[in-house]
Structure 1
């Protein structure tokens, strides 16, 4: 089956359920970890497996606050002021967002993540499709906001499974991440202070279910084709494109795939080519 993704779209309720399912899938991976697994270093600089879960715990909690209490969320942002101080270091953000979680035992950390996930799910249960949610940058539409949380869970989960040599099943929940990866192409360049490309790129991805997801015009001269999982790994900077089986046609397609960044924040580079 071929699906032209640009003609269909999820609802806030469906993204919320997919987010819950993605969180549950990662929970099944980490629930049986011993102390050694929790302490393993990951591809994220300075972060252990526990830190990956701590990061999700912190931002699931602030996401729930943003939905349920806009004024409370805005007030909480003052606590991150030291991050923007002239003497701030990479450890400054870690201390503010991960400090309390780094003092927890793995069972307590897992409980904290489960609690914040539940609070987020409850807060999101009444979100209308056209609602907007305040966040650290511009406000976001409800569906985009929940999609970003799903992407975060999946990508940080990938760093975890890579660190411990685990595996997890690919699902069509990747469609949310794939579409986000496609629509952030121009932003990837703008975020780097570069001119956004004007030439179209066609993206054709084989979904885990066997569907084919299409993005971009049929007549584009440049293209990216391959598995949805490989594409999602690249746009979340979990893999260099050369470590995947993606087929790239055109210099613009390759340049995009070497810079792609589907997540917010300052411009970053993914893994180097090997």
Structure 2
């Protein structure tokens, strides 16, 4: 996950929340139309059912963290005990449920999460894995996960994943997660500022950082999101970098540990 100590002032819960709902609804329409959830996805060992189960489980944990934060300690202990196998085991448990039950669980959970994140005060912190979060960060995080795991499903079914303006929230997470990328790769943090210029699906430019920064990244917003969520290799994107640190960042970019 992201280093939650980073500057997240550019994130807007009220703008991202309807996009989170729309992203979930769009993926719902896709998986509801396909009856075979046993198809393997690009994630090793994960079927479509595993992808949906993972999203449903994460939503359930968000509700625990917000409603009963003391009880979230049990979730953390379970994750610690399972180690690197935690996500796989959790997804497998959910994937074993009947398709109709899993679908209804995911639908109900994401609706409850949207309502809870809408009602909570913006400055109210709640526990998450390794840190405290606020709704301003959790909303785009849930959107990012929904979109990224949805991409796996779209790839599995061979259906084009329509790029929308919702990707700007994912791209913002990728930009503020730059330090995380270097930290996770055990590399020194860059000291120079970065300029990121991405082209959104509507042709408009999304930009972060000072215009005169020597370290620069350019490309499509879609490709940037695919890269930072590890859905595509750098070679499969149109992203370009100027500056040694910028190039290194694209090589190691991520929005999660």
Name the TM-score, length of structure 2 as normaliser: 0.90
Q: Residue 145 and residue 98 in structure 1: after superposition, are their counterparts in 2 closer, same or farther (change >3 A)?
A: same
SS at match of 1:56: helix
Deviations 1:222-250 (A, max 9, x none): 32111111111111111111101122223
How far residue 192 of structure 1 moved from its aligned partner, in angstroms, is 2.4
- Rounded to whole Å, the distance in 2 between the matches of 1:27 and 1:80 is 27
- Rounded to whole Å, the distance in 1 between the matches of 2:78 and 2:180 is 28
> Where does 1:59-208 land on structure 2 (aligned, <5 Å)?
59-84=58-83, 90-91=84-85, 93-95=87-89, 97-208=90-201
How far residue 10 of structure 1 moved from its aligned partner, in angstroms, is 4.7
CA contact (8 A) 1:12 1:127 kept: no
Q: How many residues align?
A: 250
Deviations 1:137-165 (A, max 9, x none): 11112211111111111111111111111
Structure 1: runs of 5 or more not aligned: 1-5, 85-89, 266-274
- Rounded to whole Å, the distance in 1 between the matches of 2:114 and 2:47 is 26
Q: Residue 20 and residue 195 in structure 1: after superposition, are their counterparts in 2 closer, same or farther (change >3 A)?
A: same
SS at match of 2:251: helix
CA contact (8 A) 1:201 1:216 kept: yes
SS at match of 2:219: strand
Deviations 1:54-110 (A, max 9, x none): 1101001101111122122223333334214xxxxx545422x12431221222221
- Rounded to whole Å, the distance in 2 between the matches of 1:10 and 1:185 is 15
SS at match of 1:64: helix
- Rounded to whole Å, the distance in 2 between the matches of 1:70 and 1:93 is 21
Q: Residue 10 and residue 254 in structure 1: after superposition, are their counterparts in 2 closer, same or farther (change >3 A)?
A: closer
**Is it true that 1:25 corresponds to 2:26 in the alignment?**
yes
Structure 2: runs of 5 or more not aligned: 1-6
Q: Residue 184 and residue 91 in structure 1: after superposition, are their counterparts in 2 closer, same or farther (change >3 A)?
A: closer
Which residue of 231, 245, 250 corresponds with 1:252?
245
- Rounded to whole Å, the distance in 2 between the matches of 1:17 and 1:176 is 12
How far residue 23 of structure 1 moved from its aligned partner, in angstroms, is 0.7
For the aligned residue pairs, the C-alpha RMSD in angstroms reads 1.9
What does residue 53 of structure 1 align with?
Answer: 52
SS at match of 2:185: coil
CA contact (8 A) 2:198 2:219 kept: yes
List 4+ stretches of structure 1 deviating above 6 A.
none
